[in-house]
Amino acid sequence: MEVIANFITNIIDVNILFYYLKTFLKGKKVDNKYVFVYLFIIILFNTLVNSFLGLASVIGFMLILILMSFAFSLIFKETYLNIFIMLLIGMVVMFALELATVNIIVYVFRLPPSLILELNIYRFLAIIIAKGGFFLTTHYWIKKISFLSYVRSKKSLSIAFVFLFNAIIIYMAFILYRYIRVSTYMDYIVFFILTLCAIIFSWLIYGFIKKMFKQEQQEELMKLKIKEYENQNFYVKNMEDIMQSIRAQRHDFNNHVSTLYGLIYLNKTEEAKKYILGLAEDVSIINKIIDVGHPVITALINTKRDKILREKIKMNLDVELPQNLSFNYIDLSIIIGNLLDNAIEACLNPDINDPWIDLKILTKGYYLVIEVLNSKTNIVSIEADSLGHGFTTKKDKESHGFGLSNIKRIVEQYEGLVKIEDNGDIFVVHIALPLGKDIL
């Protein structure tokens, strides 16, 4: 009977953890062909471990965690370490809820904690409350937090160690339940304090990790802004060179007119035509300059546009910036620059016959709306969760693919909205920044 109860409990645990991981990975698609086979193997293995080593066994817990991480990494096609960390985080949350549930049941029904580990109605009640609470926590809380980029960061080993230590600390509490005897109110108080300390410790670990990565993101963002500031000098210098060429052309205008007059006066029509064609090519740059009303953004767009045209990519522009921008121009240039760089990268794919890029910047209501549409190959599919971490079609993934994540960080600072769409052969990024949010 105990084995059957363990088997049923493991069915619930494994399926809830599967739902948790799918939620954590933002609904990542899985190959349904082998999912049920892997899940059944996990359930069977967990039942055997619990039957031979007991419910509260650190060794059993580690064996279950190792096998589940391996199986789920195959299901979701995610690295073993990332799945290992995600499961640890989920188990810490699940264990914390189970501790709270056990504490409530023990206090309400005046039971010894060891009774919860036995086969009885109280154990089933604890399972229903704890697992139901974990499901609701996953659905309403974990679904909303962006922790995936932390797990996939370079500090994933540190995170794994911290959460593993946290999980073992909580698991030790279950081992104490085997031996602790509660008979007086003081015993209940001690039991309650032990449970509360384990839960608080888990919450502090979560807060510490979150704060650490938030600070790290701020540092990365500051480095990005410094780099973008250096890029601005290049953009502005490029525009200065263009303007200097225009001034020089204006200065030479009289000379050109005199030369043309002389050629026509001498009836050298063919030479005059050639001279005009050469002159038209020299001054064509004047027609390429697009003034959007802001010197830095003007320099950025014209520099990117020049690169786009040189790559033989068609470009359509519809840019109307407000006269008084309420955004840091470096932040705005990071957004626009990364969007255009990503679009250019996608258009350079040799499988695209007629590459194109559309850039729209306009004001709608109380928002500054930025939209970039570009052609892409439908062979490469970009999922929505790529926004939270680097995505690139290039082999050098360490140096590329961080554009969307940088854009998201900037937009989040201004409490804006980001939406990406992969429509097969068209990729679209919509950004809405609330006007008046001046965050420096």
**Per-residue pLDDT tens for 122-180?**
888 888 998 999 898 888 877 666 666 666 666 666 677 777 777 777 767 666 666 66
The model's confidence at residue 51, banded by pLDDT at 50, 70 and 90, is: confident
Most confident of 92-96, 219-223, 230-234: 92-96
Average pLDDT, the chain: 76
Domain 290-440 has CATH 3.30.565.10: yes
Which residues pair with residue 360 across a beta bridge? 318, 371
Q: How far apart are CA 418 and CA 429, in angstroms?
A: 7
Polymer length of the chain: 440
**Contacting residues for 20 by C-beta, under 8 A, at least 6 apart:** 86, 90, 134, 138, 142
- Is the pLDDT score of 366 beyond 80? yes
Judge contact between 113 and 180, C-beta under 8 A.
yes
Please state, in angstroms and as integers, the Cα–Cα distance from residue 298 to each residue in 306, 329, 346, 372, following that order: 12, 11, 23, 17
Q: Is the pTM of this model over 0.85?
A: no
Rounded-to-integer distance, Cα 298 and Cα 296, Å? 5
Query: What stretch of H or E contains 319?
Result: strand 314-319
Kindly indicate the confidence band of residue 384, based on its pLDDT and cuts at 50, 70 and 90.
very low
- pLDDT bin (cut points 50, 70, 90) of residue 244 is low
Domain residue ranges in the chain: 2-223, 252-288, 290-440
Tell me how crowded residue 3 is: count the other CB atoms within 10 A of its CB.
11
